Amino acid sequence: MAEGGKGTLQVSAVSMNLNGDRENSAIPITTSLPMNGGKGTYSYFNNSCSQRQCTEDEKRKFIEEIEQKLDMKKLFSLSNTIRLADLGCATGPNTFMIIQDILEAMQRKHQSQLSQSCFNDVQHSDDHQMPEFQVFFNDQESNDFNTLFTSLPQDRQYFAAGVPGSFHHRLFPESSIHFVHTSLCLHWISKSPEVLQNKASPTWNKGRIHHTSAPDEVVEAYASQFVEDMENFLNARAKELVPEGMMVMILVGIPKGTPYSEIPMGMMCNCLSSSLMDMAKEGIIEESKVDSFNLPFYAASLEEMEEILEKNGCFKIERMESTNPAAYLKGGPVDIPAWVTNVRAAMEGMFAKHFGSEVMEEMFGRLTDKLVDIADLINSRCEVKSQLLAVLKQGGQGTSQVSAVSVNLNGDRENSAKPVTVSLPMNGRNGIYSYSRNSYHQKLSAGLEKGKIIEEIEQKLDMKKLSSSSNTIHVADLGCSTGPNTFMIIHDILEAM
Amino acid sequence: MAEGGKGTLQVSAVSMNLNGDRENSAIPITTSLPMNGGKGTYSYFNNSCSQRQCTEDEKRKFIEEIEQKLDMKKLFSLSNTIRLADLGCATGPNTFMIIQDILEAMQRKHQSQLSQSCFNDVQHSDDHQMPEFQVFFNDQESNDFNTLFTSLPQDRQYFAAGVPGSFHHRLFPESSIHFVHTSLCLHWISKSPEVLQNKASPTWNKGRIHHTSAPDEVVEAYASQFVEDMENFLNARAKELVPEGMMVMILVGIPKGTPYSEIPMGMMCNCLSSSLMDMAKEGIIEESKVDSFNLPFYAASLEEMEEILEKNGCFKIERMESTNPAAYLKGGPVDIPAWVTNVRAAMEGMFAKHFGSEVMEEMFGRLTDKLVDIADLINSRCEVKSQLLAVLKQGGQGTSQVSAVSVNLNGDRENSAKPVTVSLPMNGRNGIYSYSRNSYHQKLSAGLEKGKIIEEIEQKLDMKKLSSSSNTIHVADLGCSTGPNTFMIIHDILEAM
């Protein structure tokens, strides 16, 4: 699992703090910084191979999900362009490879849906030309986008764009993205919890740099920051994804109940702590610097993630599981120096900012020595399932209940004292919360079912019989609300008839 | 005009060569490189103030065009998001300021259309909530996007994305952009013409670094590269802009018939040539290096631009004029050292790549001296109208004639020998060139007129009378082609009725 640990150390799109301002905070809240830029010895670009290896197995699984569950016909019916986003893309090249694989899976799926559609009904394939693809590469503003852009594949079959900013906020317009991928980023929390700095509290994390081997209060403080960040992340993505749009998340996890100190990543955190404490004792750095540093990452269990997703309610879980990220090692021993180089490419920025870049060589050197000393222990714990995969679709119970709040003809929300036990009509007229101005999501969602309805009409409705008895065909839409969605679906039904 | 010259020297989004490969060419075709990155002494970020001053006047004009001629109601009816692009954005801050001004003008226009719509008919304002804006900042892949991204305004009211690549190619999906702005970039041609390297030809540009003071053959070679680049640019934008989408272009120009050597920019080119030739004679650089260097920029006249736009046919010209970029000087003298610093921020990359960065200090020093010597001449020519402004709308005669090529039931194009003197139906069925698969643009265009038709129906059609004589209302669409556009407009008409 220690090699798996290599894979779990990718630092990516994590914001400094919630108001987007990096430097204004007086207290030393550790924040995650982007990976080493450029293409040098310790650059992420040249040291991200193991991240790729760790996620190879997950890729196979979610490509399968795309092929089985992503309805390209539906997505394409909503837009002329299919838009993909890789959140926490870093500088490449992993992002280009995974995007290429996702794109090809989508093209295959589209092609197979197209030929199926042609087989069933030649007429139906009219609107199924190959879509154009646009890919948004996102990471923190301080990410090395220059390296990313100059490394873009020349023969790519998509329009590329870079999007700087924290994925804990909105990054894209409403309902504009069809597929989101994020790999080994979400375990990085937006900042280390402030309470860890409080010397008078049981959450003071003295002598440690992480929640590994820390009291429950410290672990809980980390967990609560993780929950807050995930909430922000999920709410932003729920807005941005089209209905039925897919999101794949791969993140560092831990089996429920396992102490983090018993998996290689935790062992590495402890070795880093003790390397820094040794350096403090030798006067190389200040001990108070160690006390105030808290690595901003948290490893959640499958159960924790499920609870967050359920509470959020904006997504349907298509697949969710914990896996062994080091499966590719096939039981072979961990290459410890290579692992440390990988850790360095991902984390050096954070440590250098806090402790000074002049001690980095020393710190990573000591880390290597300590890890080599416990290599057997690390190798014995290599098979812990410490990686989470979630394949989600936009549109859980949370997103379908927007709008229908109260009956109020001026379109403004009203706090009604009596319990809502009867269903009420959508907000009327054209106010800011009116249904007619807030039904874009519903329109897209309904659009997705259109195909099935139309197919049924075409196959099973006997127009000849219906029209034999009357000169006029009457169509009714029950629960039509105020439009304009009702008119669109009625149009399609009429057309089919 | 010499200060105006300062403003005309912004190097921006120009591709290296058409296959996108920078280094594979053996012959020394000079290509334009991005502006100096970072935020140092000679950075574009800190030396682009005069570009802004030169375009202040143009801004006032095109903001006026937005307010008068951009129909936000129409644009917003096509999409939930309004997308803007600044092509050749460099590293800022000018791009942020101009985008902010454009965005505010669009918001004002939207607001005024909204209140007008509310005044005329309360029902109609239903679908006019404020759009979300997404802004794409484009420049060459080698542009310093890191500086751009870390300088993005914190309080911006739009989603930001960076798009690396040459604007002589497609950058965005079809019909996805509503407004394009490009300022002081398009006069930079994609490469200096290859024929300028041919020693046996009258186009050999010996002893000069530009078409200034060169024989007609050299000027024509430049002009023809400019025409090719503009064609590529216009064709790409025609695809990407929505129907009626607006494009604003500001570029270096010249009054028809004026020799380029008689305006300050030309004087500067000649001073650069002679500085380099002096350095060659003193053995500092090789003379052959001067012969093989050709600054890749061309100043077109208003008449040339009109001809290119007319031939291309994809855009309607809303406004087109030549102006004096140095108007803001109000007759005051040019600050020559400041001008040279500006030129350096914009052009150093190109000269350094060809002549070596070690001679840049020397070269720009000599340039300053030579320009100071002819300061009176420069000041006397400061009022030449050497800047072009074009405000265009997508949808000239060229874009409406796609699709209706031949009658061919398998949907493939056929070369018909007989002259097409009768109008023929759109391509049938569902082949690659069929109308049903190639009518997205027409759909959007027709969508724009919908509002007017619906208004007429609502105001002037007496449904009571029409239905008094019959149980059924018959509606006909003449020239309906194969759909699906016909169904959509019919739906809207039915709805209005």
pLDDT of residue B422: 37
Contacts 24+ apart (CB under 8 A), A96-103: A96/A151, A96/A152, A96/A153, A96/A156, A97/A52, A98/A55, A98/A59, A98/A181, A98/A183, A99/A135, A99/A158, A99/A181, A100/A153, A100/A156, A101/A59, A101/A63, A102/A63, A102/A66, A102/A179, A102/A181, A103/A133, A103/A135, A103/A157, A103/A158
Partner-chain residue, chosen from B122, B129, B488, that has the shortest CB–CB distance to A437:
B129
Rounded to the nearest 10 degrees, how much is the dihedral formed by the CA atoms of B250, B254, B260, B263?
-80
When pLDDT is cut at 50, 70 and 90, the band that residue A455 belongs to is: low
Tell me whether B280 touches chain A (CB under 8 Å). no
Q: Which of residues 405-444 of A touch B (CB under 8 A)?
A: 429-430, 432, 434, 436-437, 440
DSSP-derived 3-state class of residue B84 = strand
- Read off the pLDDT of residues B51-101 as tens digits, 9 standing for 90 and up: 788 788 888 988 989 989 898 888 888 788 999 999 999 988 889 999 999
- Which value does ipTM take for this structure? 0.75
Tell whether the model's pLDDT for residue A439 goes beyond 70. Answer: no
When pLDDT is cut at 50, 70 and 90, the band that residue B26 belongs to is: very low
What does the pLDDT average to over A198-202?
Answer: 90
Tell whether the model's pLDDT for residue B132 goes beyond 60. Answer: yes
DSSP-derived 3-state class of residue A48 = coil
Tell whether the model's pLDDT for residue A366 goes beyond 60. Answer: yes
Decide which of 3.40.50.150, 3.30.70.1350, 3.40.640.10, 3.20.80.10 is the CATH code for B2-400. Answer: 3.40.50.150
**Residue of chain A whose Cα is closest to the Cα of B82:** A173
Tell me whether A159 touches chain B (CB under 8 Å). yes
What does the pLDDT average to over B291-300?
Answer: 94
What does the pLDDT average to over B337-365?
Answer: 91
Q: Which residues does chain B have within 8 Å of residue A442's beta carbon, measured at their own beta carbons?
A: none
Q: Which residues contact A41 (CB under 8 A, 6 or more apart)?
A: none
Shortest Cα–Cα distance, B237 to chain A (Å): 14
Shortest Cα–Cα distance, A36 to chain B (Å): 14
* B146 contacts A145? CB cut-off 8 A: yes
Map out the domains of chain B as residue ranges.
2-400, 410-496
* B154 contacts A21? CB cut-off 8 A: yes
- Read off the pLDDT of residues B205-224 as tens digits, 9 standing for 90 and up: 999 999 999 999 999 999 99
Are A403 and A439 within 8 A, CB to CB?
yes
pLDDT of residue A39: 83
What does the pLDDT average to over A154-169?
Answer: 96
- Read off the pLDDT of residues B176-186 as tens digits, 9 standing for 90 and up: 999 999 998 99
* A145 contacts B149? CB cut-off 8 A: yes
pLDDT of residue B451: 60
Tokens 């010259």 — which residue? B5
- Phi/psi for B139 (5° steps) reads -160, 180
* B146 contacts A146? CB cut-off 8 A: yes
When pLDDT is cut at 50, 70 and 90, the band that residue B412 belongs to is: very low
When pLDDT is cut at 50, 70 and 90, the band that residue B119 belongs to is: low
Average predicted confidence (pLDDT) for chain B: 80
Partner-chain residue, chosen from A163, A170, A434, that has the shortest CB–CB distance to B161:
A163
Are B258 and B160 within 8 A, CB to CB?
no
- Read off the pLDDT of residues A297-315 as tens digits, 9 standing for 90 and up: 999 999 999 999 999 999 9
Partner-chain residue, chosen from B127, B163, B430, that has the shortest CB–CB distance to A161:
B163
A326 compared with A147, residue with greater pLDDT: A147
Q: Given this structure, which CATH class describes domain A2-394?
A: alpha beta
Q: Among B125-134, B321-330, B374-383, B436-445, which stretch is predicted with the lowest mean pLDDT?
A: B436-445
pLDDT of residue A21: 34
Shortest Cα–Cα distance, B90 to chain A (Å): 13
Q: Which residues does chain B have within 8 Å of residue A163's beta carbon, measured at their own beta carbons?
A: 159-162
Tell whether the model's pLDDT for residue A405 goes beyond 50. Answer: no
What does the pLDDT average to over B6-12?
Answer: 32
- Read off the pLDDT of residues A7-28 as tens digits, 9 standing for 90 and up: 333 333 322 232 333 333 345 5
pLDDT of residue A260: 94
pLDDT of residue B148: 96
CA–CA separation, A275 and A255 (whole Å): 27
B339 compared with A482, residue with greater pLDDT: B339
Q: Among A36-50, B58-72, B202-216, B300-314, which stretch is predicted with the lowest mean pLDDT?
A: A36-50
**Residue of chain B whose Cα is closest to the Cα of A37:** B146
pLDDT of residue A485: 66
Shortest Cα–Cα distance, A263 to chain B (Å): 37
What does the pLDDT average to over B365-387?
Answer: 93
